[in-house]
Structure 1
Amino acid sequence: MTLVDRLNAWCRKVPTWAVYILCLIPIPILYYQAVTGGLGRDPVKGLEHELGEIALQLLILGLSVSPLRKFTGLNLLKFRRAIGVVTFVYVSLHLLVYAALDVQSLGRVWADIVKRPYITVGMLAFVLMIPLVATSNNRATKALGATWRKLHLLTYPIAILGAAHFIWLSKGFQLEPLVYLAIVLLLLSTRLPKMMRSLKA
């Protein structure tokens, strides 16, 4: 038995709820760090940034599931839905911290959406995620049929928008946001043929 076979056998034994718990562990840790000064001189900005970056990392992890199965044989499809839902949780918390603790005004939130492009693309990514989360259940999958697959192609523009949001809000030239964008584009390039077939179906 190869290493990949062993990993797949182990993954089959891991319950999905364990993935939810594992992925959500950073949330109370980050809030504790924000309260105790572990996120720098501006804990609100620090918390906002950390939640957003974890959301982008989870989004990339979700995009990696199919390429990993295709190129390595590692099958993590069982966990993709959980990863997607948890990604939305982090994006929602990122937005909540920004709106409730950072700007503290719905009027300012709307003004930022209109005036600041990085807020605009970030909010657009959040809005596009809502129908994906709303249909991330077995009932919706069966009811929508082939339409469900087409709807979930929204993951691709969401990933690009998320990476662009990170690049745009970064001050000056920073390598890390560009690396995230490069990874997103690489992963999407491996899915392009399948995406085109799904759109034609």
Structure 2
Amino acid sequence: MPLAAGRHGLDLLLRHAAAKPLVFALCLLPVAWLLYAAFNDLLGANPAEALVRSTGDWTLRMLCVVLAVTPLRQWLAVPQLARFRRMLGLFVYFYASLHLFSYAWFDMGFEWPELLRDIAKRPFILVGFMAFALLTALAATSPKSAVRRMGGRRWQMLHRSIYAIAALALLHFFWMRAGKHNFAEVIVYALIIAALLLARLLWRFRSSTPKTA
């Protein structure tokens, strides 16, 4: 009974008109902090590197949040969580765009031919760009009208590329950390993403297993 009451209470909170604006504001807090830190000289000795690294970190964190929505909705039996998935997915794209913009500005000085050569030359940047290209496709097809245009099955197949995006993002992060032999954060993110994907697989297996009387 207490568990059911807790689920009901959470469901009511997520239905509240203020829930989406609140989540939207919370998702903007990292970029608000980065802007404040940049204008107040709080980003350390190399602010440009800190901005590139921080926007990448927040992209990966938001990706973990998006991947957590479906397992939490299924295991907690709180369907209202699905209302936030599209918005959270667009925030992944928002932070990925900031990450790419920061790299293009601070590392490449918006020298596009040089940037393209750098993408082709360095594998970790190439896989990061591939992840961004896939994210662009998901962001472009996120409106409900895209589902009608593409058809539910094709839309669903495209949006399952979120798993490929997660793998590419982890590989990008791994190669970036490999130069400094610092893999602690990589392992943490890998374990989180692996656990979330395993939760999805377990739920699918549980749902497909016939129930016996």
Q: Same fold (TM over 0.5)?
A: yes
Q: Is the 8 A contact 2:13 2:19 kept in 1?
A: no
1:109 is aligned to 2:115: yes
Deviation for aligned residue 1:113: 1.1
1:153 is aligned to 2:160: yes
SS in 1 for 2:169: helix
SS in 1 for 2:161: helix
Task: Show the 5 A alignment for 1:48-197.
Answer: 48-75=52-79, 76-104=81-109, 105-144=111-150, 145-170=152-177, 171-192=180-201, 194=204
Alpha-carbon distance between aligned partners in 1 of 2:64 and 2:82, rounded to the nearest angstrom: 14
1:129-168 residue CA offsets vs partner (Å, 9 max, x unmatched)? 1111011111112222221111100111001111221121
Alpha-carbon distance between aligned partners in 1 of 2:83 and 2:191, rounded to the nearest angstrom: 26
1:30-71 residue CA offsets vs partner (Å, 9 max, x unmatched)? 022123221111101101111111111111110111111222
Alpha-carbon distance between aligned partners in 1 of 2:49 and 2:191, rounded to the nearest angstrom: 25
Cα root mean square deviation, aligned: 1.8
Q: Is the 8 A contact 1:164 1:181 kept in 2?
A: no
Alpha-carbon distance between aligned partners in 1 of 2:44 and 2:149, rounded to the nearest angstrom: 48
Query: What is the identity, as a one-letter code, of the residue corresponding to 2:49?
Result: K
State the identity %.
37
Alpha-carbon distance between aligned partners in 1 of 2:70 and 2:191, rounded to the nearest angstrom: 17
Runs of 4+ more than 4 Å apart? none
Deviation for aligned residue 1:192: 4.0
Query: What is the identity, as a one-letter code, of the residue corresponding to 1:119?
Result: I
Instruction: Point out where structure 2 has 5 or more consecutive residues left out of the alignment.
Output: 205-213
Q: Which has the larger radius of gyration?
A: 2
Moved more, 38-47 or 108-117: 108-117
TM-score (norm 2): 0.85
Query: What is the identity, as a one-letter code, of the residue corresponding to 2:51?
Result: L
TM-score (norm 1): 0.89
Q: Is the 8 A contact 1:4 1:73 kept in 2?
A: yes
Equivalence for 2:11:
8
1:15/1:141 CA distance change after superposition, 3 Å? farther
Instruction: Point out where structure 1 has 5 or more consecutive residues left out of the alignment.
Output: 195-201
Query: What is the identity, as a one-letter code, of the residue corresponding to 1:148?
Result: W
Residues paired across the two proteins, number: 195
Deviation for aligned residue 1:190: 2.9
Query: What is the identity, as a one-letter code, of the residue corresponding to 2:47?
Result: P
